[in-house]
Amino acid sequence: MNDLEQRAHDFADKAHAAIDHKRKYTGDAYIVHPEAVAEIVRSVAHIPVMVAASYLHDTVEDTQTTIEEIEEEFGAEVAELVGWLTDVSQPEDGNRAARKAIDREHSAQAPAQAQTIKVADLIDNSLSIMAHDHKFARVYLSEKEALLDVLVRADPILLARARHILEESLRTLAQGKD
């Protein structure tokens, strides 16, 4: 791990820990999710700013961190990626379906590097939700199928992997294997 990546990891860990942010189903320290996303990104062609943004991808959305702080600490390139990875919808934008449509349109406009990280995030979250919450998985996987349709610039290897995971998960749910 290079210096930028290590600093991003440590910053994200501290930001999530400061609000006692835990993984929903396991209670693990939240950093395990950004670590998993970073490892998935590392499995395909990438540059260090992508790994750094992978660690930081939920900090603006879920903690007190601002995009300005990300830019100050990690530079414009990392901040831009984190901006693309941060949901833009607000509660007042409507129900879950309406908000997801707004966020999906935002992701559709994202550059290839951000879309690749988004797919890595989708992969890790899909695996976690399938392992722990089949009821919510039915809603989540449907949303992620629609999201994958717009992430056309993402790394093709990760896109294929994500589609395979979603197909297998939906097949499992259809067969009632809880």
The pLDDT of residue 131 is 95
Catalytic pick among 62, 69, 77, 87: 62
* pLDDT tens for the chain, residues 1 to 178: 899 999 999 999 999 999 999 999 999 999 999 999 999 999 999 999 999 999 999 999 999 999 999 999 999 999 999 999 999 999 999 999 999 999 999 999 999 999 999 999 999 999 999 999 999 999 999 999 999 999 999 999 999 999 999 999 999 999 985 5
Distance CA 18, CA 63 (A): 8
Identify the active-site residue in 39, 61, 72, 168.
61
What domain range is 90 assigned to?
3-174
For residue 176, the model assigns a pLDDT of 82
What's residue 1's pLDDT? Answer: 83
What is the pTM for the complete model shown?
0.95
Q: What is the pLDDT of residue 136?
A: 94
Closest CA to 56 of 117, 101, 113: 117
pLDDT score, position 108: 98
Q: What is the CATH number of the domain that holds 129?
A: 1.10.3210.10
Q: Are 3 and 12 in contact (CB under 8 A)?
A: no
Is residue 29 classed as helix, strand or coil in its secondary structure? strand
Catalytic residue status for 71: no
Residue 62 designated active-site: yes
- Helix or strand or coil: residue 137? helix
Number of domains into which the chain is organized: 1
